[in-house]
């Protein structure tokens, strides 16, 4: 009798919105917004109008919270006022593992390696504030020769992995802008070169990749600089292109020395083993 009574009580037990919020990890405001915008969850109402939730609803909200925090869009998870769980969807759920980012070559310096590991962890947990802090620290704590592998390459590859899973990273544009600012400063500290190998981004979105590629090439003995103008380099100047799109028809063969992309774990690190001599 005691067990039966306990089970019955558990099934009929209700919780207010604040208790539900703490239990599922979603704010009360989010729960209200979902209810108004998507018609789910559908809490009961007490006589005084206050919402109440059952334990079963809390379990569903916990499940939904996990999916949303993994990067899935709530508009796809709630349809016609009902949750549509991944197993019911036609497309498989894509999970961001950052395997490619973790597989990148680690910096030689121990301090830079520790920074890189912390940065990868922050990227994996989608912690914008921590990611921004570690990028700043890398810019002044890591040696110039280690910064590409400690910060800038992991950042670019991680962003590519999120996009490949149809997910976004908080304030990605701000992080990439921060990276470009620091990379610009690093390139300015390199010896001047009258005829560098230009690195042309295939699209404006590839500009940060152009900065990183130019830095890595310069550190490997090929003076290079990012090309930031719409028109291509003139006067027979040699250049390479970077980006997801090759656009080989766009580039004169006499000047074009190759193309680099962010593909899987190899990323731009492939540039490190190349020796490309500009004309």
pLDDT tens digits for 19-43?
999 999 999 999 999 998 888 998 8
Q: List the one residue out of 126, 114, 206 whose CA is nearest residue 167.
A: 126
Whether residue 140 is contained in a domain is answered as yes
Query: Looking at the structure, do residues 162 and 227 belong to the same domain, yes or no?
Result: no
Query: Looking at the structure, do residues 217 and 254 belong to the same domain, yes or no?
Result: yes
Query: Looking at the structure, do residues 65 and 54 belong to the same domain, yes or no?
Result: yes
Domain's final residue, options 189, 220, 235:
189
What CATH code is carried by the domain that includes residue 83?
A: 1.10.1660.10
- The answer to whether the peptide bond before residue 168 is cis (omega within 30 degrees of 0) is no
Domain's final residue, options 168, 189, 210:
189
Q: Which residues of the chain fall short of a pLDDT of 70?
A: 1-12, 87-93, 263-279
Query: Looking at the structure, do residues 174 and 201 belong to the same domain, yes or no?
Result: no
Query: Looking at the structure, do residues 200 and 270 belong to the same domain, yes or no?
Result: yes
> Measured on CA atoms in the order 73, 175, 248, 260, is the torsion positive or negative?
negative
Query: Looking at the structure, do residues 104 and 160 belong to the same domain, yes or no?
Result: yes
Query: Looking at the structure, do residues 277 and 199 belong to the same domain, yes or no?
Result: yes
Whether residue 77 is contained in a domain is answered as yes
Tracing tokens 């209200």 back to the chain, one arrives at 32
Angle at 129 between CA 128 and CA 134, to 5 degrees: 95
Element (H, E) at 258: strand 256-260
Number of domains in the chain: 3
Query: Looking at the structure, do residues 138 and 205 belong to the same domain, yes or no?
Result: no
Residue 17: partners with Cβ closer than 8 Å, 6 or more residues away = 28, 31, 32, 43, 50, 51, 52, 53
Residue 161: partners with Cβ closer than 8 Å, 6 or more residues away = 96, 97, 98, 99, 100, 101
Whether residue 164 is contained in a domain is answered as yes
Query: Looking at the structure, do residues 180 and 104 belong to the same domain, yes or no?
Result: yes
Domain's final residue, options 167, 189, 211:
189
What CATH code is carried by the domain that includes residue 264?
A: 3.40.50
Do 108 and 150 form a contact (C-beta atoms < 8 A)? no
Whether residue 3 is contained in a domain is answered as no
Q: What pLDDT was estimated at residue 84?
A: 82
Q: What pLDDT was estimated at residue 119?
A: 96
Letter string b/e over residues 175-191, b meaning 16 or more CB atoms within 10 A of that residue's CB: bbebbbebbeebbeebe
Whether residue 2 is contained in a domain is answered as no
Query: Looking at the structure, do residues 113 and 174 belong to the same domain, yes or no?
Result: yes
Whether residue 5 is contained in a domain is answered as no
Query: Looking at the structure, do residues 195 and 184 belong to the same domain, yes or no?
Result: no
Tracing tokens 């580039």 back to the chain, one arrives at 251
Give the integer Cα–Cα distance in Å for 24 and 61: 6
Q: CA distances (Å), 203 to each of 28, 210, 228, 229, in order?
A: 42, 10, 11, 11
Domain region containing 51: 10-88
Backbone Cα Rg of the chain: 25
Whether residue 1 is contained in a domain is answered as no
Q: List the one residue out of 198, 228, 218 whose CA is nearest residue 275.
A: 218
> What CA dihedral angle connects 222, 228, 232 and 233, to 10 degrees?
-40
Query: Looking at the structure, do residues 102 and 68 belong to the same domain, yes or no?
Result: no
DSSP 52: E
> Measured on CA atoms in the order 171, 177, 180, 184, is the torsion positive or negative?
negative
**What's the token pair of residue 116?**
């890189």
Give the integer Cα–Cα distance in Å for 16 and 37: 20
* 45 burial level (CB within 10 Å; 0-12, 13-18, 19+): exposed
Q: What pLDDT was estimated at residue 14?
A: 86
Whether residue 119 is contained in a domain is answered as yes
């Amino acid at each position: 009798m005691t067990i039966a009574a306990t089970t019955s009580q558990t099934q009929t037990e209700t919780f207010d919105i604040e208790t539900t919020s703490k239990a599922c990890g979603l704010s009360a405001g989010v729960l209200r917004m979902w209810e108004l915008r998507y018609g789910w969850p559908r809490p009961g109402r007490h006589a005084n109008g206050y919402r109440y939730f059952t334990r079963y609803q809390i379990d569903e909200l916990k499940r939904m919270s996990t999916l949303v925090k993994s990067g899935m869009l709530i508009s796809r998870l709630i349809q016609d006022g009902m949750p549509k769980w991944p197993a019911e969807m036609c497309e498989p759920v894509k999970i961001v593992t950052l395997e490619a980012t973790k597989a990148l070559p680690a910096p030689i310096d121990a301090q830079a390696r520790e920074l890189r590991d912390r940065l990868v962890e922050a990227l994996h947990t989608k912690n914008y504030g921590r990611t921004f802090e570690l990028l700043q620290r890398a810019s002044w704590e890591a040696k110039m020769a280690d910064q590409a592998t400690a910060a800038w390459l992991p950042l670019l590859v991680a962003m590519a992995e999120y996009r490949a899973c149809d997910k976004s990273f908080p304030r990605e544009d701000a992080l990439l802008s921060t990276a470009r600012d620091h990379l610009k400063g690093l390139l300015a500290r390199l010896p001047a070169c009258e005829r560098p190998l230009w690195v042309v981004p295939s699209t404006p979105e590839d500009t940060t990749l152009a900065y990183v590629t130019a830095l890595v090439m310069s550190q490997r003995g090929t003076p290079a600089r990012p090309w930031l103008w719409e028109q291509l380099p003139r006067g027979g100047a040699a250049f390479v292109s970077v980006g997801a799109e090759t656009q080989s028809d766009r580039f004169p063969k006499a000047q074009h020395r190759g193309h680099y992309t962010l593909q899987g774990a190899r990323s731009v690190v492939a540039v490190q083993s190349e020796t490309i001599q500009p004309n």
